[in-house]
Structure 1
Amino acid sequence: MKATIKEIARICGVSSGTVDRALNNRPGISEKTKKKIVEVAKELNYQPDFTARSLVMGRTMTIGIVLFDLYNRSFAQLMNAIEANARKRGYFVYITLTDKNPESEKKCIEYLINRKVDGIILFSVNQGEAFSQYLRQFKTPIITIFNYVSDHFEYIGIKEREAMKNAVEHMVKKKYKRFIYISPPLAFQGKSNIYTQEERLKGFLEGLTAGNITIAPEIIKDKNYIDILSLMELKTTDQTAIVCSCDLYALEVMNYLKSIGLHIPKDVGVFGFDDIDMLKYISPRLTTVQYPIEEIGEMAITSMIQRIEQGSFLHIPLLDYKMIEGESI
């Protein structure tokens, strides 16, 4: 026979509400009582009845996630942080992937709405007032991450522009005078929401101005950026830095430079952005900006659950970043 909360409460000599708090890791209960309840639940092989709980609480205990894809290692790290923190709070996650397609993104959102998720965490490719109004028609709470949509929605991100500006100033201090900037997503400027990439570009240009760099930067927006690099003279009297808007581009650039016999950073410097976990296997160690990807996931879940359970989001200021000084600059 299936164990119930009432049975656990009777054995432990507490109320059903106390059992619910213990099993869902909520405050208002002593550690001693919580431990006893959890042990009894394990002995009885208690399994929560999510359908019944949803009817009583008016919630499904699920949160929807809308991402581009999982090819970028940062997104995989983000999902691990979101899922782990949601599970600790008694919530499950539905993940949907848009492949950066605006219409697919809307279908993903509507899929999650129809399955009555309690909230949605959205990394959007859509933008503009029409899309903001589209989102506002739904009653489901929405948090946007990375790509800003509008002031109508909670936003969690980092100081993108400031981080890239400081990175360029750091390179200027190291005597770099010629800069090449690689960011293929910029090809979608005006067509898709690339807020984070636009902020990084602005920071890059502001850093050049602050550093009094007189050589005009070369900005590569083409997805075939290695082909374009192959047409450039990279080893010049003016020390060259190749600045990439994410680590994956930087790793491709480093492989290319090695393949043509150029030394990093003696001949050409390389800078990335994100500090993905696989960098520990790369030599020379890439100089990059550490993106607090796991903290973004944790904060998104914390804010969303506060909105679901208490009616208001936890307002989170832009998160900070950290320069990781490797050996590539």
Structure 2
Amino acid sequence: MATIYEVAKAAGVSLATVSRVMNNNTPVREATRVKVLAAMAELGYRPNSIAQSLASSRTNSIGILVSELHGPFYGAMLTGIEAEFRAAGKHVIIAAGHSERATEQDGIEFLQSRNCDALILHVEAVSDDYLLKLAQGSTPFVLLNRHIDGLSDRCISLNNEFGGFLATDYLLQQGHRAIAYIAGPMWKTDARERYQGHQRALAAYHLSADSRLFFEGDFRETGGSKGLQQLLNSKVPFSAVVCANDEMASGALTTARELGFNVPADFSVVGFDNVNFAYYTYPKLTTIDYPISAMGQMAARWVLQRVYQQNTGDIQQLFEPHLVSRDSAASAI
């Protein structure tokens, strides 16, 4: 097996230059980089990651903790993060927290035990105090979809309240007044903020939310299905339904069709997230765009800048949602 010394000799450069090319952490002239990479390929040289980490005190690996691994939302998030790190020659280790405090803490401890250079955390159940204490440790981390005042410089979040406002305001502009709401689990910050936006939009039209037209779902298709069934069983008239995410909106659309209702002729449906299947539902889903892939990329750039001192440009910490109008929402009759 070829050694780094043989690579340096074949490329006609120093050991330090070969090391800089492999670690990709210090500028090297492009011609020199090409020469070193060609020598590595010709000799079949594969860097020893353990030796690299001992020499640089870096493992070139980043830990990612997400709530779940299923569904298009988390797929888009992880794809955005991994693509950014892959382009920078870094690798990711992924764990799931399942929105449970103990599991999230265990996931964080596991990633720390793997000597990750930094962490990207999409956590919902651990407390602000826990994260503030974690920030005092030696492992840098950035938070996705969560804002904590004491950690604002390491938070990348969405204006969820404004997204909730946009969804309901759009329906109000279309003439709807009896608007039902299928929420996410209300113990989650994003679910509460989206509902607060819904209430703000109603208040702008001198309306208030009707508790009989509210259902607390689970951010899954089953929640949307059960929510729509309960709303219909209540016998309280409504002309539109806002769902706090696209999975629940998809469940509501499917149940409406199974029960013989026509969307949007009988009632409109608006979702939240704009995941990839929103364009392929029937009818195509009007929804709020949540740029989670771009936010994942921004979290990765935060790590590359703060931990690896790479110039990744300005870090955007607050993202604004926007409405995507399709076929599932129409003017009130």
Q: Quote how far apart the aligned CAs of 1:74 are.
A: 0.7
- Match of 1:164, SS? helix
Q: Quote how far apart the aligned CAs of 1:222 are.
A: 4.4
Rounded Cα–Cα distance in structure 1 between residues aligned with 2:83 and 2:317: 23
State the TM-score, normalized to the length of structure 2: 0.87
Instruction: Name the amino acid aligned to 1:212.
Output: H
More off after superposition, 259-268 vs 32-41: 32-41
Q: Does the CA-based 8 Å contact 1:148-1:195 persist in structure 2?
A: no
Structure 2 partner of 1:80: 79
Q: Quote how far apart the aligned CAs of 1:152 are.
A: 2.5
Q: Quote how far apart the aligned CAs of 1:321 are.
A: 2.6
Structure 2 partner of 1:302: 301
Q: Does the CA-based 8 Å contact 1:159-1:320 persist in structure 2?
A: yes
Identity within the alignment, %: 26
Q: Quote how far apart the aligned CAs of 1:26 are.
A: 5.4
Q: String of CA shifts for 1:147-169, please: whole Å, max 9, x gaps.
A: 33442261112222112212221
Rounded Cα–Cα distance in structure 2 between residues aligned with 1:215 and 1:98: 33
Q: Does the CA-based 8 Å contact 1:235-1:267 persist in structure 2?
A: no
Q: Does the CA-based 8 Å contact 2:191-2:244 persist in structure 1?
A: yes
Q: Which runs of 5+ in 2 are unaligned?
A: none
More off after superposition, 116-125 vs 226-235: 226-235
More off after superposition, 8-17 vs 317-326: 8-17
Q: String of CA shifts for 1:52-111, please: whole Å, max 9, x gaps.
A: 111111111111111111123111121122122212212211111122110111111111
Q: Quote how far apart the aligned CAs of 1:234 are.
A: 8.4
- Match of 1:309, SS? coil
Q: String of CA shifts for 1:302-326, please: whole Å, max 9, x gaps.
A: 1012111239996433123332111
State the TM-score, normalized to the length of structure 1: 0.88
More off after superposition, 284-293 vs 249-258: 284-293
Rounded Cα–Cα distance in structure 2 between residues aligned with 1:231 and 1:126: 28
Count of residues in correspondence between the two structures: 322
Consecutive aligned runs of 4 or more in structure 1 exceeding 6 Å deviation: 234-238, 311-314
Q: Quote how far apart the aligned CAs of 1:129 are.
A: 4.5
Rounded Cα–Cα distance in structure 2 between residues aligned with 1:126 and 1:215: 27
- Match of 2:185, SS? helix
The counterpart of 1:202, out of the listed 196, 217, 221, is 196
Rounded Cα–Cα distance in structure 2 between residues aligned with 1:52 and 1:179: 61
Structure 1 partner of 2:328: 328
Q: Does the CA-based 8 Å contact 2:105-2:126 persist in structure 1?
A: no
Structure 2 partner of 1:118: 117
Q: Which runs of 5+ in 1 are unaligned?
A: none
Q: Does the CA-based 8 Å contact 2:84-2:300 persist in structure 1?
A: yes
Structure 2 partner of 1:62: 61
Q: Does the CA-based 8 Å contact 1:146-1:195 persist in structure 2?
A: no
Q: Quote how far apart the aligned CAs of 1:215 are.
A: 6.4
More off after superposition, 248-257 vs 19-28: 19-28
- Match of 2:119, SS? strand
Structure 2 partner of 1:8: 7
Structure 2 partner of 1:213: 207
Rounded Cα–Cα distance in structure 2 between residues aligned with 1:84 and 1:105: 24
> Counterparts of 1:123-142 in structure 2 under 5 Å?
123-142=122-141
Pairing 1:173–2:170 present: no
Instruction: Name the amino acid aligned to 1:280.
Output: Y
More off after superposition, 52-61 vs 131-140: 131-140
More off after superposition, 81-90 vs 16-25: 16-25
Rounded Cα–Cα distance in structure 2 between residues aligned with 1:162 and 1:120: 28
Pairing 1:98–2:102 present: no
Instruction: Name the amino acid aligned to 1:247.
Output: D
Q: String of CA shifts for 1:227-268, please: whole Å, max 9, x gaps.
A: 453244489997611111110000000001111111111111
Rounded Cα–Cα distance in structure 2 between residues aligned with 1:228 and 1:158: 25
Structure 1 partner of 2:185: 185
> Counterparts of 1:239-254 in structure 2 under 5 Å?
240-254=239-253
Rounded Cα–Cα distance in structure 1 between residues aligned with 2:84 and 2:311: 19
CA RMSD of aligned residues (A): 2.7
- Match of 2:318, SS? coil
Structure 2 partner of 1:160: 160
Q: String of CA shifts for 1:121-163, please: whole Å, max 9, x gaps.
A: 1111235453234413421001111133442261112222112
